[in-house]
Structure 1
Amino acid sequence: MRSNTGGPASVDALDVDIPAPGGGRLRAERTGSGSPVVLLHGAGMDARLWDTVVPELARHHDVIRYDARGLGRSSLPDRPFDDVEDLSAVLDHFGLDRAALVGLSMGGETALDFTLAHPGRVGALALVGASVSGHGWPADPQSSAYATARRQRDAGALAALELSIWAALGRTAPGGELVEAMVADNAERRIASEPFLAHFPDRAAESRLGEIAVPVLVVHGDQDHPEIAAIAERLVADLPDAHGVTVPEADHYLPLRSPERLVELLLAHLARPRRAGE
Structure 2
Amino acid sequence: MRAHTDDPTPLDAVEVEVPAPGGGRLWAERRGTGSPVVLLHGAGMDARLWDAVVPDLARDHDVIRYDARGLGRSSLPDRPFDDVEDLRAVLDHFGLDRPALVGLSMGGETALDFVLAHPDRVASLALVGASVSGHVWPSDPRSAAYATARRQGDAQALAALELSIWASMGRTAPGGEIIEAMVAENAANRVAGEPFLAHFPDRDAASRLREVAVPVLVVHGDQDHPEITTIADRLLADLPDARGVVVADADHYLPLRTPERLVEQLLAHLTRPDPSA
Shift of 1:273: 2.4
Q: Which residue of 1 aligns with 2:154?
A: 154
SS in 1 for 2:17: strand
CA distance in 2, matches of 1:244, 1:152: 37
Is there any run of 5+ residues in structure 1 with no aligned partner, and where?
1-9
Task: Kindly indicate whether residue 223 of structure 2 is the aligned counterpart of residue 216 of structure 1.
Answer: no
Aligned partner of 1:195: which letter?
P
Q: AA paired with 2:230?
A: A
Alignment of 1:41-190 (within 5 A): 41-190=41-190
Contact 2:11 2:58 in 1 (8 A): no
User: Which residue in the other structure is 1:7 paired with?
Assistant: none
CA drift of 1:11 comes to: 5.6
The within-5 A match list for 1:28-47 is: 28-47=28-47
Report what 2:203 is aligned to: 203
- For 1:131 and 1:101, locate their aligned partners in 2 and report how far apart those are by CA, in whole Å: 15
- Partner SS for 1:80: coil
1:126 counterpart SS class: strand
Identity of aligned residues (%): 81
Q: CA deviation at 1:74?
A: 0.2
Q: Which residue does 2:22 correspond to in 1? A: 22
Who is 2:260 aligned against? Answer: 260
Q: Does 1:240 align with 2:222?
A: no
1:237-272 deviation digits (Å, cap 9, x = unpaired): 100000000000000000000000000000000001
Q: CA deviation at 1:274?
A: 3.2
Please state how far the C-alpha of 1:153 moved relative to its aligned partner: 1.9
1:226 aligns with 226
CA distance in 2, matches of 1:152, 1:18: 31
Instruction: Extract structure 1 runs of 4+ deviating beyond 4 A.
Output: none
What TM-score do the two structures reach when normalised by structure 1? 0.95
Could you say which residue in structure 2 is the equivalent of 1:6? Answer: none
Q: Distance in 2 between matches of 1:68 and 1:53?
A: 18
TM-score scaled to structure 2, two decimals? 0.95
The separation in 2 between residues aligned to 1:134 and 1:151, in whole angstroms, is 20
**What residue identity is the alignment partner of 2:46?**
D
Aligned partner letter, 1:152: Q
For the 8 Å contact 2:42–2:106, the answer to whether it is kept is yes
1:151 shift after superposition: 3.1
Please tell me whether residue 270 in structure 1 is matched to residue 270 in structure 2.
yes
Distance 2:27 2:274 in 1: 32
CA deviations over 1:16-41 (Å, ceiling 9, x no partner): 00100000000000000000000000
The residue type equivalent to 2:270 in the other structure is L
Q: Which amino acid aligns with 1:49?
A: L
Deviations 1:163-193 (A, max 9, x none): 0000011001100000000000000011001
Structure 2 unaligned regions, length at least 5: 1-9
Distance 1:242 1:17 in 2: 34
What SS does structure 2 have at the residue aligned with 1:33? coil
Residue 63 of structure 1 aligns to a residue whose secondary structure is strand
Higher mean C-alpha deviation, range 105-114 or range 134-143: 134-143
> 1:113 corresponds to which letter in structure 2?
D
Measured against aligned partners, the alpha-carbon deviations of 1:54-109 in whole angstroms (never above 9, x if no partner) come to 00000000000000000000000000000000000000000111100000000000
Hey, what's the Cα distance between the residues in 2 that align with 1:15 and 1:119? Answer: 28
SS of equivalent residue, structure 2 residue 89: helix
Contact 2:11 2:59 in 1 (8 A): no
Counterpart residue type for residue 193 of structure 2: S
Structure 2 residue matching 1:193: 3-state secondary structure: helix
Alpha-carbon offset, residue 12 of structure 1: 1.4
